Amino acid sequence: MPSPGEETWKDHWKCFVACGIIVLSPFQYGVDFGLIGGLQAMVGFLKIYGHPAPDTAIGWNLDTTRQQLISSLMTLGAFISSGTAGIVATYVSRRQCLWAACALCCVSNVIMMATEDIGALYAGRFLIGLANGYFMTFSQLYIQESSPARYRGWFLTAFQFFTSFGTLIGTIIDWATAKRPDKSAYLIPLGMIYIIPVIMTVALFFIPESPRWLILRGDYEQGVKALRWLRPVGADVDAEGAEIKAAIDREKELSSSISVMDMFKNPIDRRRTGLAVGAVLLQAASGSMFVIAYKAYFLAMSKVSDPFAMSNVLSAMGILAIFFNSLIVVRWGRRRVILTAGLAICGILQLIIAVVYHILGATNTTGIVLVALTCVYMMTYNGMISTYAWLAGGEIPSQRLRSYTFGLAAAVGFFGAWLTTFTAPYFINPASLAWGPKYGFIWFPSCIIGVLWVLFFLPETKGRTLEEIDEMFEAKLPARKFRHHICVGHVNTAEKIDDRASEKVSPPPTPELWISVRVMILTFCRHPPRFNMPK
């Protein structure tokens, strides 16, 4: 049996299987996002829900209000469901919420496929948003609570990978059916939405519940049993279970009950809530949502040749970035550094695209620049912002309030996405302001504000167990001191030593060490040793 410091990912294969099933949730979310963005540029869809527009690049257009609601109602539903996740999670387990999401997803899709009425389409989009909010919130909670600290970065990278991979699959399906002249152009893509919920409904029966949720609910024995299933054979799951219980008990001492207001009553919890919300909101601050939600329509109206094929290229570039990120996230994945660099690069790219379009207009040269820089933008967003924003936002909440805090963070993130998808048509639709790529002028300052927030407020949590993060927040450390702080209680020693060895970071000497060294020097100077030298 390997020691904790010698364990490899192969020893944790059951945890990888469980989290592999869970990351089908963001894949479903990505498929939906990829599909609905392409539908709005399909003639077969626009013949039913749009109107003829001979002066546009594709001959058809969608009313600005309809375009806003079709895209934004999904994110509004996700905002509502993730915002209430904390209350729901008090009584319903992570797996049960994912089962509910699967059922709701199928029901909403039946409505969207069976109607040609715009009101019913709106209802279906809102319901699938409720499902997506559960998919994204409870899948991340499960991963954060079930994975070892050393592999948590990998699993959250996989989370983002499957989100982007789902978006790519959605855009490929749209590309394959876009040229169909009738309603089958969009009905075939919608029919694909059933596949993942059916697979997940069955697969969830074969993995355990979140061990931290079970222990938080007072079912310690079942929590240890879940840990025993998830961890390698022979692992000291009793010690890990006791550590989790001790951290939860320590937090419960601060409050005998759990409510929504607990996120704001205590200064420590208030700080953690603000940081989690801010971290997740960085995704919306980058301006990515309008590119993801409207890329096919955006490229078509910018007169880029074959916008559906170019949409596939953009999605593929994002996935490539996530693949490279998976190679560095465990060893070098420092949240603060990568988020700062990613936001700065995305802001500069948005500014360059806006300036080029403002000067040159809709020319062939502009189209080439637009596609090239948007590819780089998507690679930067997926590889440096999206993964680490979710990762930081999920690591920061306390054990006791995790479902409440992360639910609120996800809700605010979805609200930012809703705000972007709702307002973007006013700027990019030729029937409104017709800014097109000049929309980037708005997102450059937004990215710079995000950079400043990360530098001054976001702490570094790489390689830390959730219990260590609790300890550092309770010590009221400023953000700049998190990285080098040595925890004295509830420490997973093997993982900490392994992480420090990989980072080649020498921890600063503790005050006790300096005192000991000083005493030894003074003693030596006052009472130097005497040596009997041979004559």
Domain edge (last residue) among 462, 480, 498: 480
Quote the percentage of the chain above a pLDDT of 90.
31
| Residue 511 pLDDT greater than 50, yes or no | no
Q: Does a structural domain hold residue 196?
A: yes
Same domain membership, residue 318 and residue 185? no
Domain edge (last residue) among 171, 191, 207: 207
Average pLDDT over residues 146-152: 84
pLDDT at residue number 330: 55
The mean pLDDT value of the chain amounts to: 81
Same domain membership, residue 40 and residue 173? yes
Same domain membership, residue 266 and residue 139? no
Residue with tokens 């004295």: 488
Confidence band (pLDDT; 50, 70, 90) for 249?
confident
Q: Does a structural domain hold residue 251?
A: no
Question: For 273-288, how does the pLDDT look when each residue is reduced to its tens digit (9 = 90+)?
Answer: 999 999 999 999 998 8
Same domain membership, residue 269 and residue 203? no
Average pLDDT over residues 302-307: 68
Q: Does a structural domain hold residue 254?
A: no
Same domain membership, residue 289 and residue 437? yes
pTM of the model: 0.69
pLDDT at residue number 209: 95
Question: For 357-416, how does the pLDDT look when each residue is reduced to its tens digit (9 = 90+)?
Answer: 888 877 777 777 888 888 888 888 888 888 788 888 888 888 778 888 888 998 898 898
Same domain membership, residue 289 and residue 195? no
Distance, in Å, from the CA atom of 48 to the CA atom of 54, rounded to the nearest integer, reads: 16
Integer CA distances (angstroms), 449 to 114, 141, 353, in order: 45, 28, 19
Distance, in Å, from the CA atom of 212 to the CA atom of 219, rounded to the nearest integer, reads: 10
C-beta separation of 46 from 100 below 8 A: no
Same domain membership, residue 408 and residue 312? yes
Q: Does a structural domain hold residue 92?
A: yes
More confident residue, 330 or 500: 330
What are the φ/ψ torsions at residue 147 (nearest 5 degrees)? -90, 150
What are the φ/ψ torsions at residue 371 (nearest 5 degrees)? -65, -45
Q: Residue 141: which domain range?
A: 12-207
Instruction: Give me the number of domains the chain comprises.
Output: 2
Same domain membership, residue 459 and residue 324? yes
Question: For 159-204, how does the pLDDT look when each residue is reduced to its tens digit (9 = 90+)?
Answer: 878 988 898 898 889 888 988 888 898 999 999 999 999 999 999 9
Distance, in Å, from the CA atom of 410 to the CA atom of 137, rounded to the nearest integer, reads: 7
Strands 51-52 and 60-61: antiparallel
Domain edge (last residue) among 173, 207, 241: 207
- Per DSSP, the three-state class of 52 is strand
pLDDT at residue number 331: 61
pLDDT at residue number 271: 94
Q: Does a structural domain hold residue 5?
A: no
Q: Does a structural domain hold residue 376?
A: yes
Distance, in Å, from the CA atom of 401 to the CA atom of 389, rounded to the nearest integer, reads: 19
Confidence band (pLDDT; 50, 70, 90) for 129?
very high
| Residue 501 pLDDT greater than 50, yes or no | no
Helices in 429-465 by DSSP H: which ranges?
440-457
| Residue 334 pLDDT greater than 80, yes or no | no
Q: Does a structural domain hold residue 507?
A: no
Question: For 12-53, how does the pLDDT look when each residue is reduced to its tens digit (9 = 90+)?
Answer: 899 999 999 999 999 999 898 888 877 877 888 888 988 888
Distance, in Å, from the CA atom of 180 to the CA atom of 186, rounded to the nearest integer, reads: 9
pLDDT at residue number 534: 36
Residues forming beta bridges with residue 401, ordered by sequence position: none
Same domain membership, residue 345 and residue 423? yes
Same domain membership, residue 268 and residue 134? no
Q: Does a structural domain hold residue 84?
A: yes
Residue with tokens 């465990």: 330
* Burial of residue 409 (number of CB atoms within 10 Å: 0-12, 13-18, 19+): buried
CATH number at residue 340: 1.20.1250.20
Same domain membership, residue 285 and residue 139? no
Average pLDDT over residues 303-313: 73
pLDDT at residue number 344: 95
